Amino acid sequence: MKTPFLPAVAEFLKASPLPHFINGRRHPGGATRAVINPVDGSVLAEVAYGSETEVNQAVTAAQNAFPAWAARPAVERSILLHRLAERMEKEAAVLAQIESLDVGKAITATEGFDIPFGIACIRYFADLATQAQYDMPLAIKNIEARVHRAPYGVCGFIFPWNFPFDLLLWGIIPALAAGNTVVVKPSEVTPLSTLYVAQLASECGFPAGVVNVVVGDGAGVGAPLTAHPLVRRMSFTGSSEVGRKIGEVCGRRLIPSKLELGGKGAAVVFDDADVASTAKQLAGAITFNTGQVCCTATRWIVHEKIFDSLAQQAAETLKATKIGVGLDPETQMGPVVSATQRDRILGYLSRGKAEGADVVLDGGPAEVRDAKGGFFVKPWLLAGSPENVCCREEIFGPAAYLVKFRDEAEAVEIVNRLDYGLANSVWSTDLARANRVAERLVAGNNWVNAHNVFAYGLPYGGVNRSGLGGGVNSPATFYDYLRDATIARPLA
């Protein structure tokens, strides 16, 4: 079914080539590149493709805007953020369509999750900014002392392509609420919603230079942004490989970096779990956003007694999943984001089989009527040894690898075998056991009887190869964007 573009979406795309957003203005500059529609491989729009020149302009604008933005009372920044949230609520349908078109996501997901959940982030940090403690008195004998908290200055942000809208807001909103100015490099694959948000922020009254967006690739824009001497902190969301490079540069520059990286999440399913419900939820975890979710459950560590039954029920759910065009409201799973991503997923399927995995549900390219040339893949399940490549490496597609276990200690050992540490889940009706096992899994987030649990106030982040530097979505995230200074006066 073909859904027409909303007039505001058509108008936005018609302004192609879409420029950067620097110093409160749409800013052409540099070369241009096509943004591809994952549904059929057609060109959605051309976008500006920047370089060090645009990075320098954006950082200078952010540096110039910083003193006045930081000096504003927190309540004024909060009011502006709430105004932006209100405007986004009015434009939610437009944002949902842009996000669906750019990433290929099912429109029901962008309408029901991405857009409202991103807007809730703005409300959360806007309120937090008015309640935060910017000065903390210290009780020290003979010294009048306090910790004073102040924003850093220009903060750089680099994002991946899988949740452009939500990750943008999870990143920049706490920084802005705390009084920093920002320069954003969205993924070159999915820059559209970020450019739209920057324009909205400006229309809502954010001063010029507070929010800047430079589109381009890692080498041309990401690297000069990370290395820029006026950037006081960096936040990066993306692969562990690129995260390590960003961390190295920030380490040399002695600036803090927040790294939200890749994962290979496990679901440990005990024999007392509700098999039907668990199978359905795990199948849903790998079809949500077509499996392009850093924290999702891609290793299913299942007790031998229920292994066959869970595998078969999950396979049935996956077979029944409706694959289709993102904008079709009937679609449950859209295409993956690009031809590169499709080839990567299919490559892993071949390698996994070649290494001897059992095929529980076979995958491959999927055909979708009315969408020739799209990057559609069928979900798949492999099983066998945890040493298989598909159980060790991040695939980032609608795929999971099943491993049998006999006892609790073995399950914990299999999960902790990898150096990733983003998110796992434990499934059991014995909550004492579920909590005990959750405590032993090495990851930033371990959920019980659910996978992908997100809320504002619930910290989210990774450890080891999955991340460093504080995570997102909690009061601690807000305080990460304030630097501490002690101010002390001896009394005697």
> Which tokens sit at 56?
């320098």
Asked if residue 218 binds ligand NAD (CB under 6 A), the reply is: yes
Asked if residue 187 binds ligand NAD (CB under 6 A), the reply is: yes
Q: How far is the CB of 203 from ligand NAD (least distance, A)?
A: 25
> Which tokens sit at 158?
């680099």
Of 411, 399, 231, 212, residue with least CA distance to 307: 411
Asked if residue 343 binds ligand NAD (CB under 6 A), the reply is: no
Of 463, 427, 431, residue with least CA distance to 445: 463
Q: Which of 29-37, 242-250, 296-304, 411-419 is the region at the interface with ligand NAD (rule: CB under 6 A)?
A: 242-250
Asked if residue 102 binds ligand NAD (CB under 6 A), the reply is: no
Q: Which of 23-31, 215-223, 269-277, 371-379 is the region at the interface with ligand NAD (rule: CB under 6 A)?
A: 215-223
- Give yes or no: 390 in active site: no
> Which tokens sit at 298?
């891609």
Give, in order, the Cα–Cα distances in Å from 98 to each of 12, 245, 282. Answer: 9, 31, 28
Contact 306, 317 (CB under 8 A): no
Q: How far is the CB of 158 from ligand NAD (least distance, A)?
A: 5
Find the binder of ligand NAD among 83, 185, 233, 378 (CB under 6 A): 185
Residues numbered 428-467 forming contacts with ligand NAD, rule: CB under 6 A:
462, 467
How crowded is the C-beta side of 25, counted as CA atoms within 13 Å?
7
Residues numbered 405-434 forming contacts with ligand NAD, rule: CB under 6 A:
422
Q: How far is the CB of 308 from ligand NAD (least distance, A)?
A: 30
Give, in order, the Cα–Cα distances in Å from 164 to each of 15, 110, 295. Answer: 20, 11, 16
Give, in order, the Cα–Cα distances in Å from 446 to each of 395, 463, 474. Answer: 20, 12, 16
For ligand NAD, give the closer residue by CB, 24 or 444: 444
d(CA 216, CA 53): 12
Rg of the chain over Cα atoms, rounded to whole angstroms, equals 23
Choosing from 121, 250, 294, 391, the catalytic residue is: 294
For ligand NAD, give the closer residue by CB, 105 or 185: 185
**How many residues interact with ligand NAD (rule CB under 6 A)?**
31
Residue type at 41 in one-letter notation: G
- Give yes or no: 294 in active site: yes
According to DSSP, the β-strands at 364-365 and 257-260 are: unpaired
> Which tokens sit at 7?
């007039």
For ligand NAD, give the closer residue by CB, 151 or 224: 224
Q: Which of 125-133, 206-214, 257-265, 271-279 is the region at the interface with ligand NAD (rule: CB under 6 A)?
A: 257-265
> Which tokens sit at 402?
């099943």
SS3 352: helix
Asked if residue 245 binds ligand NAD (CB under 6 A), the reply is: yes
Asked if residue 162 binds ligand NAD (CB under 6 A), the reply is: yes
Residues numbered 264-323 forming contacts with ligand NAD, rule: CB under 6 A:
294
Asked if residue 394 binds ligand NAD (CB under 6 A), the reply is: yes
For ligand NAD, give the closer residue by CB, 181 or 237: 237
SS3 87: helix
Helix 74-90 vs helix 164-177: crossing angle, to nearest 10: 160
Q: Which of 60-68, 153-161, 381-389, 473-481 is the region at the interface with ligand NAD (rule: CB under 6 A)?
A: 153-161
**Residues found near ligand NAD in the complex (CB under 6 A):** 158-162, 167, 185, 187-188, 217-219, 222-223, 226, 237-239, 242, 245-246, 260-263, 294, 394, 396, 422, 462, 467
What residues are annotated to the active site? 260, 294
